[in-house]
Every structure is written in structure tokens, then in C-alpha cells.
Amino acid sequence: MTTAKQEADRILVNFLRNQVTDINATRLAAGGQWIFPDFPRIGDLGDSSFPRMGVTILDESSDPMGIFDDNQWESLTFQIDIVTKKV
């Protein structure tokens, strides 16, 4: 049995998309995304595109669970950026 590799940042982004409510009603009605698996683009966006959230992996390490065990204990450190715009 082969399992697909799970990307930790994608898992956290999907979790946040399901748990955090978008306060921007215009974007919410259009079905737009506002949580991204990297730092969100902000330079050329209008007021209706904010707030935006980005998830970045800062550190990732693994240790073996045992001498003859293929399983690994993963440690991850995330940074979550929320970008707003002053109106």
C-alpha cells in the first residue's frame, strides 16, 4: 500500500480555511480564497482583497522513532501572517 506524501503547510491551510471565517463579505460571496500556503501577494490588490493570510514553514526536522523503525517524529514550526489594509 502506497500513501501520498502529505504537505504540512497544505494541511494547515485547509484546516484554517475550514475553521476561520472570512470577514470580507464581498470576497466571501464570490467564493474567493484568502488563506495561502506562502506569503500572500499584496502589492497590486484593492481594498476588497483584504485581509489576507499566509502560512510559511520556518523549520522542519525529523527524528527516528526507533532503531529498526521507519517511522519519523516530525517537528514543524509555522509562521502565520495576517495582512490587513488601513482604509
What tens digit of pLDDT does each residue of 27-58 get? Answer: 766 767 888 887 777 777 777 778 888 888 88
pLDDT score at 39: 76
Q: What is the dihedral of CA 9, 13, 19, 23, to 10 degrees?
A: 140
Whether the pLDDT of residue 26 is over 80: the answer is: no
Distances (CA, A) of 57 to 7, 13, 33, 63, 73: 11, 11, 20, 18, 16
Give the HSE-up count for residue 80: Cα atoms under 13 Å, Cβ half-sphere: 13
Position with higher pLDDT, 40 vs 12: 12
What tens digit of pLDDT does each residue of 57-79 get? Answer: 888 888 888 888 788 888 889 99
pLDDT band for position 5 (50/70/90)? low
| Phi, psi dihedral angles at 44 (to 5 degrees) | -115, 30
